[in-house]
Structures are given as C-alpha cells and as structure tokens.
Amino acid sequence: MSPTARRSGRRRPRVGVVKFASCDGCQLTLLDLEDDLLAIAERFDIVEFPEATSRRSAGPFDVLLVEGSISTEEQLEELLRLRRESTTLVTIGACATAGGIQALRNWSEHGPWAATVYPRPELIESLAMATPVADHVTVDAELRGCPIDPQQLLELLTALVVGRRPQLPDESVCAECKRRGATCVVVSQGTACLGPVTRTGCGALCPVYGRGCYGCFGPRNDANVVSLIANTAGLDDSVASTRLAGFTAWAEPFRSVIDDHGGPPGAKP
C-alpha cells in the first residue's frame, strides 16, 4: 500500500484499462505520462491493462477506462459485462466517445464495404455500424480527442483520487487559439477550419501549426455548424462536409450536416 493510501486508511482504487476497436493511442497516453506514471501506479491499483501488464482481472473495477468503438457482437457483450463490473466507467478518446474514424462506414452498406478489403467478407463478423460506448451503456465521464490530451487524463485521475468532479473545458478551439496568440487561419489564409464548432483540448494545435482544425475533439456543446458554413469564407458545403467527415463524424451535430450533404466522401462504392 502506498504511503498516501495508508495515511488516509483507504484502499487504492482498482483500475482497469481496456480497448475495443481502436489504435491503442489513447491508452498509450497513460504510459506517455512519463513523469507521473510511477506515482499513478502507487495511488491506483492497476488490475487490468493488457497492453502493459500480464496480470489480468475480470473485475470488479472502481474505475474502468474504455478505449475504442463497439464494432462486433462480441465486443458489445463484453462491454455489457464490464459495465456491470465497474463503479465508474470513463470513455477515453474519439473512438469510444464518438465512434472514431471507423464510424464513417456507418453511412455505407456493410457487406459491399467489407468486400472491398476482404476477399471473403462472409467470414467477417462485424456489426453493421461502429458506435460509441454511450450508445450501449451508461458512461460516467468522457475524455474527448483523437488522441486524448495527457493533461486531461491527469486531471481526471487526480479528480478520482480526491473524489471531486474533473474540470474539463467545453469552450471552442477558437478561444484557446486566441489565448495562444495564433493568427487565425480562416481570416489570414482563407483556410477551412472547424475551430469555432470544435471542443478544445488540443491546445489549438492545428491553427498554431498553420492549418485548419479537423475536429478531432468533436463538437462542443451547442455547436452551430450550419451557421458556420453559411458565414465562413473557404468553407462551402462540400469542403465542410468533407472536413466534418473525420474522426468524430458520427457525433451530432456533425453527423446531421454530413447527412444533409449526402454522406462522407467515398461512402458510395
């Protein structure tokens, strides 16, 4: 038991880190907290994290971090089981919170789509759609982003230790872009940018690097995408629908706007 836990007389929270359809990048973010990782491992009992440890646990979990979208029947069953085992379930990243890039297939018929990648698509067991975790079970907190922001992960873990609500921002990328003193790429270059309708968390990375935001943290609350398209130079319908059709395309209101423009590029075979 860590000194902290001994002092407070509490046992360390049992934490699990699991994944469904995803690239592993969001769970890797935990291992990328190089300065804090060993301290985190002292305050939490990491009982399930297959990418990092051979010690396994089927539950129960005080906290479960879930990466990835739900893409197969088997994953759905496992998610339902994990939810029953978990007191607090947190989705991490665009795949788990919005379906991820693979949700672009939700606009297409699954059979012909699979046939373009696999010679024998009949062998592929896959649900018709790749969907976010919250479509299937109650989610207690979510970290957005493709990938998630390491500082937001640290804030979440800190909040869990002390038993308070995590402070996660819901302002637009634009607000952060202004604070960082970056030149607006829309005004200065006429570049398409989803900054006004996208939730911050990335540090306004793309505008700072001279390119338009592509929405990887997903829509902020009350994002008015229709107005953005109507009022922004360089963001006509086709540009906008292509740009929205990225890593958080399945999240509303991005999804409806893509629908209105006939689906994402390449949706038709």
Partner 1 sequence: MTASAPRRRARTRRFEVEGLTRVEGEGSLRIVIRDGEVIEAQLGIFEAPRYFERLVRGRTPDEVLDIVARICGICPVAYQMSAVHAFEDGVGIEIDPAVRALRRLLYCGEWIESHALHVYFLHAPDFMGYASAIELARDHRVLVERALALKKAGNHLVALIGGRPIHPVSVRVGGFYHTPTRAELTALRPELTAALDIALETVAVTTELNTPDFSREPRLVSLRHPTDYPMNEGRIVSTDGLDLAPTDWERAFAEDQVGWSNALQARTHAGDVYLLGPSSRITLAGDKLHPRAAEALAQSGLADEIRRNPFRSIVARAIELVHATAVAIDIIDDYRPPERPATPWNPGPGTAAWATEAPRGLLFHTYELDEEGRVATARIVPPTSQNQAAIEADLTDFAPSVLGLPHDEATHRFEQLIRSYDPCISCATHFLDLRVEDRR
202 touches partner 1 by CB under 8 A: yes
Residue number, 27 or 86, with CB nearest to partner 1: 27
Residue number, 128 or 230, with CB nearest to partner 1: 128
- Strands 45-48 and 86-92, sheet pairing: unpaired
Phi, psi angle pair for 212, to nearest 5°: -75, 150
Q: Which of 236, 229, 183 is nearest to 208 (CA)?
A: 183
**Single residue of 15, 16, 29, 219 touching partner 1 by CB under 8 A:** 29
37 touches partner 1 by CB under 8 A: yes
Interacting stretch for partner 1, rule CB under 8 A, among 84-92, 156-164, 198-206, 222-230?
Answer: 198-206
65: which strand partners? 17, 90
What H or E segment, with its residue span, contains residue 106?
A: none
Max Cα distance, the chain (Å): 62
Interacting stretch for partner 1, rule CB under 8 A, among 3-11, 80-88, 115-123, 230-238?
Answer: 115-123
111 touches partner 1 by CB under 8 A: no
Q: How far apart are CA 25 and CA 148, in angstroms?
A: 8
**Token digits for 107?**
């606009």
147 touches partner 1 by CB under 8 A: yes
Interacting positions 227-246 with partner 1 (CB under 8 A): 242, 246
Cβ–Cβ < 8 Å for 85, 59 = yes
21: which strand partners? 69
Interacting stretch for partner 1, rule CB under 8 A, among 97-105, 151-159, 167-175, 223-231?
Answer: 97-105
**What's the N-to-C CA distance of the chain in angstroms?**
57
Give residues in contact with partner 1 (CB under 8 A). 19-29, 31-32, 34-35, 37-38, 41, 46, 49-56, 68, 71-72, 75, 100-102, 104-105, 113-114, 116-120, 123-126, 130, 146-147, 202, 205-206, 208-211, 214, 216, 242, 246-247, 264-267
